[in-house]
Amino acid sequence: MDSFADSKRSIAGLKSLGFTGAVITPHLYRGVFDNQAAQLRVAFDEFLAALRNDGIEFPLFLAGEYFADDHFLKLIEQGDLLFTPVADERWVLLEFPYLQESPFATACLAALVNRGYRPIIAHVERYRFVARAPEVWLEQFERYGAVLQGDIGSLAGQHGEDVKRFAVSLLDKNKIAIWGTDIHKSKQIERHIVPGLAQLGAAGRLSSILNPMLTGISS
């Protein structure tokens, strides 16, 4: 499959649903997704140029999704992270192992805060260890000023019924500040994003917190 062609289909699908821009967050996970910030910036600029060449207008911004491990701690110390600028803050998206508690979770959260970043917890509804003790973990995330992000597709059962139930519970309690698509292929839009948006309904909690930043970006 032509990944650029599928990217264009994804953009078209998002625009048809009323999205006016997006933050792209490629994985940075040593040994699994061996991306580097400098490399991703170059690839992103090339991607924007290709979109412009095809006459496609859709505001995009590059950030990253970091895996919380010892390597991420080193990247935090180096201070060259891909982040989302929100007001005068630098928001950094990080993820944990799905099945078990990360031994680096607290250290990474503390290191981000100490370096002047604000953590965003990626797809919080998908972590089994959080679902088993939500009061403990949500309080811990709040202690570090972390923003919780959820996947729209989780509300439609994309990651199973247990994840769906936890996602709906977090939605009902207004715990998730940002709902994202987590799109890897365009076919996810009809299969998971459309029904997920129906579940989100008129909650008005999709991504309005990012709108001021996105409206100032040109693709």
Query: What residues are paired with 91 via a beta bridge?
Result: 84, 118
Mean pLDDT of 29-44: 90
37-53 and 3-16 helices cross at what angle (nearest 10)? 70
The 10s digit of each residue's pLDDT in 156-175 is 999 999 999 999 999 999 89
Nearest to 168 by CA among 160, 55, 37, 139: 160
> Please, which residues have CB within 8 angstroms of residue 152's CB and are 6 or more apart in sequence?
179, 180, 181, 182, 192, 193, 196, 197, 200, 206
Superfamily of domain covering 3-214: Metal-dependent hydrolases (3.20.20.140)
Q: Is the pLDDT of residue 218 over 90?
A: no
The 10s digit of each residue's pLDDT in 109-141 is 999 999 999 999 999 999 999 999 999 999 999
- What residue spans define the domains of the chain? 3-214
Q: What's the mean pLDDT when you consider all of the chain?
A: 90
130, two tokens: 């959080």
d(CA 155, CA 194): 10
The 10s digit of each residue's pLDDT in 75-116 is 999 989 999 998 889 999 999 999 888 899 999 999 999 999
Confidence of residue 212 (pLDDT cuts 50, 70, 90): low
CB 164 within 8 A of CB 154: yes
d(CA 199, CA 193): 10
Between 217 and 73, where is the model more confident? Answer: 73
d(CA 208, CA 219): 19
Strands (E), 54-196: 60-62, 65-67, 84-86, 89-95, 117-121, 147-151, 178-180
Nearest to 181 by CA among 15, 3, 67: 15
